[in-house]
Amino acid sequence: MGKLTGKVAIVAGAGRGIGRATAELFAAEGAKVAVLSLTRANVNAVVDHIQSKGGTALGVVCDLSDGGQIAEAVAKVVQTFGGIDILVNVAFDPTVVQSSIRDLSIEQLQRNFDMGPIAYLRTMQACHPYLKASGEGRVINFASLAGVLGMSPYGPYNLAKEAVRALTRSAAREWGPDKITVNNLLPVADTWGAGPDTPPPANALGRFGSPEDDVAPVALFLASSDSKFITGSSLTPDGGQIIDSAR
């Protein structure tokens, strides 16, 4: 028996990196996993990997900046698996995250919000009835340490990710009576394949985290019954980089 046996999980943004690692780990722990992402090839690759290991997965190609597509995706998951117990929101658009505040356009900021807190809000709203019916629903939103630290030049990304944290805290308080926990993860991980000349991050452990070994297991903890008394929190699998914010 795995930690998530009998559970249904949606991972929104599961096509690569941390999202893929999370989807694959959840499936290995017994969950039926819906793999949501924009790129069909990525969706198919994750589903094929899960199934090759004996897991259960449903691939759904979905533009997470489109509310209509989110509603259709959630309906398809419920039709296929019968409900939803866990929602993971990890998607973002990496092509628009950098800008100084001085030069930041409203259009670029809007794209960060569309793929971040607005997309997360839509998936949460669409999943809420099923998370409530579960009796032990879990929502895991990926925010960012960049927003906490005000890292430059990530102005639009910082604004959007801090909005994710506010969304998470607000939903945690509102949805507590529905027995749904809502938490954030703020990871520092190598999702692009850092080369040998890439300087290490400024954290206590002096390395980037692994999506598979360092971040996905924390998401698993938040998805499992082990975390049933934690809600509204921001967990930081970041090698200790959050220490910088305590100055």
Closest CA to 139 of 178, 174, 184: 184
3-class SS letters over 110-133: HHHHHHCHHHHHHHHHHHHHHHHH
154 is annotated as an active-site residue: no
Q: What percent helix, strand, coil does the chain show, rounded to 5?
A: 50, 15, 35
CB-CB contact of 94 with 13 (8 Å): no
CB-CB contact of 34 with 42 (8 Å): no
Catalytic, out of 120, 130, 154, 157: 157
Q: How far apart are CA 144 and CA 173, in angstroms?
A: 21
One-letter identity of residue 82: G
Q: How far apart are CA 185 and CA 234, in angstroms?
A: 6
Q: How far apart are CA 149 and CA 57, in angstroms?
A: 36
Active-site positions read 157
